[in-house]
Amino acid sequence: MRVKVKKLLKGGEYFVTLENVDFNFEETEKIEKFGMPTIDFSMDGLGSHKLNDLSLSFEARSAEEAEEMVSRIQYCVKDKLSELLSKVDNFTGEEVIEI
């Protein structure tokens, strides 16, 4: 998954926007099988978002605070993607059974 991060310093305030750009082939295959993951950023005041609708904006008091928030968001997204990629479809298939 690629995420675009836009940063702006204006009037002494630090603004950051993160947006989903796209998914790689493996992620797309897993999403088609298991559905679009949702991440809860409520602890950071950003609500819950499906990965394909990821569009987050926040304001920070310092560059360090902004970078820390971006790192937390990246960690949450990576963690959710790792969880998705580790899923295995043990259900799909067909078999002939004798009755």
Pull the structure tokens for residue 76: 């949450």
pLDDT at 71: 95
Q: What total of structural domains would you count in the chain?
A: 1
Question: In this structure, is residue 92 part of a structural domain?
Answer: no
Question: In this structure, is residue 65 part of a structural domain?
Answer: yes
Is 52's pLDDT higher than 90? Answer: yes
pLDDT, one tens digit per residue, over 5-40 is: 999 999 999 999 999 999 999 999 999 999 999 999
Is 43's pLDDT higher than 90? Answer: no
Percent of the chain with pLDDT over 90: 96
Is 44's pLDDT higher than 90? Answer: no
Average pLDDT, the chain: 95
Question: In this structure, is residue 35 part of a structural domain?
Answer: yes
How far is the C-alpha of 61 from the C-alpha of 14, rounded, in Å?
Answer: 6
How far is the C-alpha of 53 from the C-alpha of 55, rounded, in Å?
Answer: 6
